[in-house]
Structure 1
Amino acid sequence: MGDFNQSVILDAVRRSPDGCSRVDLIDATGLSAQTVSNIARRLLDSGLIVEAGKSGTGPGKPRTILRLNPAGMYAAGVHIDPAVLTCVLLDLTGRVVEHSVRPTPVGQDPQQVVASIQTELEQIISRSAVPREKIVGVGVAAPGPVEIDEGMVIDPPLLLGWHRVPLRDWLARLTGLPVFVDKDVTAAAVAEAWAGGDTGAGSFVFYYVGTGIGAGVVLRDEVERGSSGNAGEIGHIIVDPSGPPCSCGARGCVAVTCTPQALVAEAERRGVLPDTRLSSAASDVAVQFSRLCDLADLGNTAALDIIEQSARRTARAISVMTNMLDVDRVVIGGPYWRRLSAYYLRRVPVLLDELSVTRSIRAVPLVGTGVGDDVGAIGAACLVLERTLSPSATRLLLEG
């Protein structure tokens, strides 16, 4: 209970960007004045929070403001997208101290990718000059499915050769740091909750646009992972019954209509892009997808039609989730989001409102991520901070 109360205090301080006093913490948490005072002293002694001046100009003693100490703790994050490998180092406030982005090594040997991750992590740590003892762990965001308890990646469809890869154990052995593995879409939702500001508060769906499409879910400030940690697999929601056939046996699923690979395939089929006959490797798809967006930006009618069609399909997929979960908002982000954002933000909210069962009561806002392009890697690092600092109901399992 003491650990839980400490995490409650830290979370309350974290959610107060301008800082808060001990009296504010009593009001925000419902804990006693003595408990708040004792925990605040421990956190000050450990360097996780700092005193940041006084507040109050009226009668009575001015209150001491408490804030997170950015240098009190650091966490590293890695996002493994089939096309791009991103590594970041965050301070305790969620600010990116250092980062790197490079193409994911091509091939079917996961050990080669893990070795590349270790090299990138060592480089960003060295460049940051952060003392290694202040880095509390490494979070890794990987395509699902994953076994959370084992830190294992299980045959993700877009990472060939990744059969039951013990990612956590391999990377922990190479880095000497604790490692946490989670799904990329879950990590993105964690990033938004930790570092997204107002867009990450309350209940929301994070619609993740990467090489694959998925969704992270946060309900009442708690990330929902599901029984096995693999919530958010939305690839087989049908958004166009007359669309292309899917491996599941249906037609027009998200996986074959909304992903970058699906948009590129449609563009090649319609002659908007030359059919390069390159492999379906993520790096090749990324190049072609960029060309498609360039054409749309230049006003190419057919390219615009493909992206508009994907916006309609995306709205249908999102409406399934918002109608089921009744969330405050939808947040969209991921490696491919920036190129689509102008089109989707103009079109999807209108369509989503038309499909909402609560439209007569309230609108469901749709916004772009407040975290940026590195949301997956930032979320991976936030996984470490979340497990270390955030209050969770699972911590209150009490034995009789």
Structure 2
Amino acid sequence: MTREPPHSTFEASMSDWTDRPGTSPPEWTPRREPLAPPPSTRTAPLPGMPSPAAPGRYDSGPHPRGGRGSRNRRRPSRRRRYLRTAAVLSSVLLLGGAGTYVWADTRLDQQVDLGALGGRVPPGKGTTYLVVGSDSREGLSEQDRKDLNTGSAEGRRTDSVILLHTGANGTTMLSLPRDSWVTLPPYVDPGTGRGYRAAPNKLNAAFSLGGPGLLVRAVERNTGLRIDHYAEIGFAGFVGVVDAVGGVDLCLGRPVRDEDSGANLPAGCQTLDGAEALAFVRQRKQEDQGDLGRTRNQQKFLAALARKAADPATLADPSKSFPTLSAGLDTLIVDDGTELPDLMALFEALRKATGGGGRQLNVPVADPDLRTSKGSAVKWDDRRARALFRALREDRPPG
């Protein structure tokens, strides 16, 4: 096979719609089990955890000068007591936070090697994250799969694909329909080792055929945007996060019912638990524009989830904040260059974009029901999409 020339410009990546040979990407490394956290070295308990110290007073013993307790001692001033209490609390929070940081950092499953991918587009300005919601059933029991209407299919496919761009001109969250009709780069089937030439297909096919690596290359090839970080969460993690924060409040203008996803929600304002939320963001058959309607529902739900997770009542309650963090990490997959600070920056950008401090967009579409050899697909509006992608690549406000 001959080597495909790298796409040095956005126009080349968008206009290449024909088959041609190219280099084969490295094989997709199967998911490995997250590393177990090392033995704790904390000297103070995490917030919300019981103290290892024995209960009781510490000043009840004999006074060094023979007095009883503090009777012969000068009581500290109120100001000194306040300062002392503040210092103790600060130390406990600092040590607990450090312990939590180490624990969370060891839980990151950094299985995607972006540096090993070939034929990538040049870096742009700002930082671009590829955030993927996958239908991975890992972590779900057979009963869970039945209860959540996830089916029994093995492997992973995308249920949502979101580009999150941050830079000097704010934050933009851009949803890419999973049925987008794009050109997949050349790839090697990780199961058979057989190589395939570039060809048109649905964006979701990139993930199912070649995993995160092929999806990243497909997004870069068709948008001209360099992916700096990758983050993916599966069904189990999604449900766990929603349940950990106590459910998410959402107002629906009409009833939502879908046999495939299991959604059966009345109209009006309500609190969705994890299973109901998953059914809501997965359903699309009753939406007027199918996959496009689903992306709008996903953005609406993410905004509500971000508000709930960032609520002071949630953050200050260890019984909610720690299970939320743990549930999110259970099925989270990131690239090997993503550390905990990068993940925190991603969450903050997501919160801004969904909380009114940024932009929530869908890729411009020319035909939401394009007939193809792979079934109905979503055709982008090439001219408007090019302008949008170029603005993000150059870190300019879209539009």
Higher RCO by CA contacts (8 Å cutoff, separation 6 or greater): 2
Shared topology, TM-score over 0.5? no
Greater helix fraction, Structure 1 or Structure 2: 1
Larger Rg: 2
TM-score normalized by structure 2?
Answer: 0.26
